[in-house]
Structure 1
Amino acid sequence: MQSTRFILINTSHAGNVGATARAMKVMGFSDLVLVAPRFADVLCHEEAIAMASGAADILARAQVVPTLTAALEGVDFACATAMTPRDFGPPTHEPRSLFADLAAREAAPRLALVFGSERYGMSNEDVYRCHAVLSIPTHPDYGSLNLAQAVQLLAYDLRQAIGGFTVQPRAAAPDAADARAVQGLLEHLQAALIDIGYLDPAAPKKLMPRLNQLFNRAGLTHEEVHILRGIARQMQKVAPAAGSR
């Protein structure tokens, strides 16, 4: 299933082809086949390349074929995409559960995901050639997806079914300032506030304890303590000038 083929039938907008290539690449897929697109040169169209945005290699390897039969060559299990189930034809499935079932098989099939044209979707005849129909769960009052959006959603669900990608861990969190550093900051800040006339040492009320609680909730790092002490130093530098005006 890693080599799943993405098949676009009668695509009319070059931008959708490029956006499809991008959606495939970010999920680790590369096999793109176009069936009788509106423009024969769509793979090298300026808009397609622009929308591919770094996935031009997918476009370069893509194939253009005249029929769905040709596009399905070598495929074991083809999935049509449709907004609503057909009265007749292959069974309709929610993508995530079907992909999980296919991935769990002892011999996972060579899969194809088939998408219809932007205006008309897939014809009944093309749907009948497939083994299953995928219907993306959407809001019942408006289930219309852009072609590349549908590709992205299915590519994501498929990638999750076959193992996903490891999320890169974030860089180690900066060292938290210890209580001594925070108390030193509070003492420095208290002096600066007195210098600029904001804090009356004769009637301090609860300003410093409140600031202490604020800093404790914030979980200051050593770098942040240095920044705040730098601000306090600058306050003390300008305090005499401020008092003289």
Structure 2
Amino acid sequence: MLPRIVPVLTPEQKENLVVVLAGARNPLNIGAAARAMSNFGFRTLRIVTEFPLPVTEAKSAVDAAEVMQQATVHGSFAEAIGDCGLIYGTTAVGDRRLEHPVEPLPQAAAAVRNVLAGKQRAAIVFGSEKTGMTNEQMSYCSGLLTIPMEVHGTSMNLGQSVAVCLWELTRDGVSGGVMPEDGFADSAAVDRFEAVLREGLTATGYEAKFPANCGEEMTRRLVRRLRLNRKDAEIWTGIWRQVLWKLRQ
């Protein structure tokens, strides 16, 4: 008799896991990613592209039709991850100089399960088949994950990467990290804080004195690594708005 399989994630939690394909253009690869999602019971697929997407071909992929029917296409990366409280980008690392700490997949998956258990959305982002994620896309991430490989710096194809990440999420593992009581701030709320913070850095003269510390991507990375909860993001946004108001008097 086969052992009974006990689901690690509920259907609701699986709906809250967002798979983001940032820059994927090959319909066969998109279809393979959607098929992997379907196999593991995930449905929320978001595709970021500036180009017309041959969705018809992708929709024809075996066992991927339902996922592709529900998939949404976004013109900007920020829009695609706006309602997510935890965002992990994927990387093979290689020779790239990365500004975010890189976590092995099992550790990142535990953190994602923790967020999903708190009824929040979490995203796993996969970059272009040829070049991977851009530095700008990575700057929006809470962290980066990598799939442990026998040879450092090698990479899987898109469908394989999605399948391995989702398998790790659904296997019987522990949750990890400390979940804020009121949940992580979603990406859109963090964007609002970042915007007012950058205004403040300019208004106070800090940007002029230390321009190397105030680039848009650098500021975004610094803030994202804090993993602010909802209340803290609102408070910090309010503090900097008050600072700006006072400076302009």
In which range does the TM-score fall when normalised by the shorter chain? 0.5 to 0.7
2:66 maps to what in 1? 57
Q: SS in structure 2 opposite 1:117?
A: coil
Residue correspondence of structure 1 range 24-173 to structure 2 within 5 A: 24-36=37-49, 38=51, 40-45=52-57, 48-50=58-60, 52-84=61-93, 87-104=97-114, 107=118, 109-140=120-151, 143-160=154-171
Match of 1:12 in 2: 25
1:96/1:161 contact within 8 Å kept: no
Identity %: 28
User: TM-score, normalization: structure 1?
Assistant: 0.59
The amino acid that maps onto 2:35 is: R
Coordinate RMSD, CA, aligned: 2.2
Deviation of the 1:54 alpha carbon: 1.9
Structure 1 residue 161: Cα displacement? 5.3
- Higher RCO (CA < 8 A, seq sep 6+): 2
Q: Is the 8 A contact 1:103 1:161 kept in 2?
A: no
Q: Secondary structure at the match of 1:7?
A: strand
Which of the pair has more CA radius of gyration? 1
Instruction: Please report how far the alpha carbon of residue 10 of structure 1 lies from its aligned counterpart in structure 2 after TM superposition.
Output: 1.3
SS in structure 1 of the partner of residue 32 of structure 2:
helix
Measure, in 2, the Cα distance between the counterparts of 1:129 and 1:161.
29
In 2, the alpha carbon distance for the partners of 1:98 and 1:144 equals: 18
Give the 3-state SS of the residue equivalent to 1:144 in structure 2.
Answer: coil
Output one character per residue of 1:101-160: Cα deviation in whole Å (capped at 9) or x when no partner: 442467364210101101110111111110010110012256221011100000111112
| TM-score of the two chains, using structure 2 as the length reference | 0.59
User: Which structure 1 residue ranges, 5 or more long, are not aligned?
Assistant: 164-245
Contact 1:9 1:37 in 2 (8 A): no
Unaligned runs of 5+ in 2: 1-12, 175-249
Q: How far is 1:32 from its partner? A: 0.4
In structure 2, distance between residues paired with 1:20 and 1:109:
23
Aligned residues: 159
Deviating above 6 A after TM superposition, structure 1's stretches of 4 or more consecutive aligned residues are none
Q: Which moved more, 1:52-61 or 1:111-120?
A: 52-61
Distance (whole Å) between structure 2 residues aligned to residue 141 and residue 103 of structure 1: 26
